[in-house]
Amino acid sequence: MRISSFLLLLSTSLACTGPKNNTEALSVGSSYKTVGSVLRVDSVVNSLIPEGAEIEVLASGFEWSEGPLWLADQNALLFSDVPTNKIWKWTEKDSLTLFLEPSGYLGTETNKKEPGSNGLALDAEGNLILCQHGERRIAKMNATLTAPKADFTSIVSDFEGARFNSPNDLVINKSGQLFFTDPPYGLDDWNPKELDFQGVYRLDTDGSLSLLLDSLNRPNGIGLSPDQQTLYVAQSDAQKARYYAFDLDQNGDVLTGRVLLDVTSTVGDDHPGLPDGLTVHSSGVLFASGPGGIWLISSEGKHLGTIQTGQGTSNCTFDADESYLYMTADAYLMRIKMN
């Protein structure tokens, strides 16, 4: 469910279920409102998340927060608010500031439901790379992270002459190869689909584009194992809510694939959300958004536990030393302390 587009910074007295149609600044140094709980199915969770760790709500009021990206040199988090065509920046020191607008759609249509950027990443040179729902492409921001501006260069926008649906999430490996998913969520009636499938692609540093998968109907979140030999893809389909693992060869082509974990049976009103964005811990454990919050999944496909946010949770990322996990969850920005 996507709710109010007004910005709301939460004070400790405001609950997550409270009104979201006004604004209130969070005083620097205040403690944050805490919500939810951690379900610990396997003792491995205790080595990753301290017992007693709480889910902190850092900010709220977004329509659908997505694509969190940690900026190590600024101790800052960037994240998209897809329906409002904005990217926000959060720091412990300065709280929340608008980073970029527009972020994903540069046109004049006003009835576009998913105009903004979604997944965000940094390339080897430190450039901001964006999945632009509205422009149906992967693009680079032509500005520094300290002086951002809505000036972009398209990196790739079509497959064999047909425009992408709406690139959603991306990951870049150590060799500079860019892997991304292309579900149809950003399309509109006036902005028709040109491909008859939803793809998972790899863009090489020489500009060549390879279609890796066309068999998933709702590919969404994407990530790589620590050795970069396994590609993980989440499928946001209520009927086939799954996480997939694909073995890669040395060129980044798919060798074999398997269902890592099927969570279809848990989908429902009691557990809001579907498999969506994901990130991979240095231990190899997946932290993947899914029904009820963030699922912790071993590389063998075992459900280890769940960070239960109580919201439809879209994505997550770690800070530089994995001391916190930051989560975008519907109208909220949240985090939890890690070991």
The catalytic residue among 269, 276, 319, 321 is 276
The residue assigned the tokens 């932290």 is: 287
pLDDT at 8: 40
- The shares of helix, strand and coil residues in the chain, as percent rounded to the nearest 5, are 5, 45, 50
How far is the C-alpha of 197 from the C-alpha of 220, rounded, in Å? 14
pLDDT at 31: 86
pLDDT tens digits along 168-193: 999 999 999 999 999 999 999 999 99
Catalytic residue check, 42: no
Which residues carry a binding-site annotation for a divalent metal cation?
Answer: 66, 220, 276
Please state which CATH number belongs to domain 33-337: 2.120.10.30
Q: Which two three-digit tokens encode residue 168?
A: 């959603």
Q: Give CA separation, 257 vs 93, 146, 230, 287, in Å.
A: 44, 40, 9, 19
110-135 as b/e: b if 16+ CB within 10 A: eebebbbbbbbbbeeeebbbbbbbbb
pLDDT tens digits along 191-237: 999 999 999 999 999 999 999 999 999 999 999 999 999 999 999 99
Q: Is the pTM of this model over 0.85?
A: yes
pLDDT at 113: 87
Q: What is the mean pLDDT of the chain?
A: 92
Per-residue model confidence as pLDDT tens for the chain (339 residues): 333 333 344 433 333 443 343 323 343 445 899 999 999 999 999 999 999 999 999 999 999 999 999 999 999 999 999 999 999 999 999 999 999 999 999 999 999 989 999 999 999 999 999 999 999 999 999 999 999 999 999 999 999 999 999 999 999 999 999 999 999 999 999 999 999 999 999 999 999 999 999 999 999 999 999 999 999 999 999 999 999 999 999 999 999 999 999 999 999 999 999 999 999 999 999 999 999 999 999 999 999 999 999 999 999 999 999 999 999 999 999 999 999
Q: Give CA separation, 62 vs 32, 135, 222, 247, in Å.
A: 17, 21, 23, 36
pLDDT at 11: 35
Nearest of 116, 120, 151, 113 to residue 136 by alpha carbon: 116
- Residues whose CB falls within 8 Å of the CB of residue 323, separated by 6 or more in sequence, listed in order: 337, 338
Nearest of 19, 40, 107, 91 to residue 333 by alpha carbon: 91
pLDDT at 316: 98
Q: Where are the domains of the chain?
A: 33-337
Which residues carry a binding-site annotation for substrate?
Answer: 168, 189
- Residues whose CB falls within 8 Å of the CB of residue 138, separated by 6 or more in sequence, listed in order: 129, 130, 131, 132, 154, 155, 156, 157, 167, 170, 178, 180, 203
pLDDT at 30: 58
What is the CA 109 to chain-centroid distance, rounded? 25
Strands 286-290 and 293-297: antiparallel
Q: Give CA separation, 121 vs 128, 179, 232, in Å.
A: 6, 11, 16
Helix or strand run (H / E) with residue 48: helix 44-48
- Residues whose CB falls within 8 Å of the CB of residue 171, separated by 6 or more in sequence, listed in order: 121, 178, 179, 180, 222, 223, 224
How far is the C-alpha of 225 from the C-alpha of 229, rounded, in Å? 6
